[in-house]
Structure 1
């Protein structure tokens, strides 16, 4: 069994009001701790992925803020205190200062994190 805290998890993306920490926790899954300032839109950093959207599924809990999730089918709003599932094909935009933790397949989340880092250059 593996456990970690936000502070123990390494920063994998940082800049422009965004901090992403990810760590493999075993079983083919990784944990992601994200903090993002109001107005942070990850859509531009996802350009170049299929449909210009994140293709990694995420299961998580929104601890603070509000997030608008854009998909090919429209938009949904998520608020503090909600557990969520964001399936493949989404782009988050932070409506308020936001903090969440999610769990995702390690291989998929690493692909997206690498892409986002390259886009943010």
Structure 2
């Protein structure tokens, strides 16, 4: 059976607000994320349907908290919670939060292409 742990996963993102290590497991990407700062990444999803993340995510909060904002409600998850983030959400992230998250690789790649493009645009405006 395939497996991965945080120390084996490659460091893919090391930014002031997030450290992310990611690996493929079958058709899914597992992410080991540590959020270093409070961060609202909402503007990064501009251009996706509804300007919201359309990729589903399943995860566990190891420390801290995560909020998924939907058009009509918010869902908050704290340390020890397992969660499902349905398509159409916007995450709100908090310093000190650690999660392990599983996402369909194809959907995550499509979302991250938009997020990466938007991050570049925002950085060039600074």
Partner residue in 2 for 1:101:
100
Partner of 1:110: 109
Q: Are 2:46 and 2:52, in contact at CA under 8 Å, matched by a contact in 1?
A: yes
After the TM superposition, which segments of 4 or more aligned residues of structure 1 sit over 6 Å from their partners? none
Name the Cα RMSD after superposition: 1.6
Instruction: For 2:116 and 2:14, locate their aligned partners in 1 and report how far apart those are by CA, in whole Å.
Output: 8
For each residue in 1:59-86, what CA deviation from the matched residue of structure 2 results, as whole angstroms up to 9, or x when unmatched? 1100010112111112121111100001
Q: Name the SS for the 2:110 alignment partner.
A: helix
Which of these two proteins has the greater Rg computed from alpha carbons? 2
Instruction: Note the 1:1-80 alignment, pairs <5 A.
Output: 1-26=1-26, 28-80=27-79
SS at match of 1:21: strand
Query: Contact 2:11–2:22 (CA<8 Å) still a contact in 1?
Result: yes
* Structure 2: runs of 5+ lacking an equivalent: 121-126
How does the TM-score come out when normalised to structure 1? Answer: 0.88
Q: Secondary structure at the match of 2:54?
A: coil
Gaps of 5+ in 1: none
TM-score in terms of structure 2 length: 0.85
* 3-state DSSP of counterpart to 2:114: helix
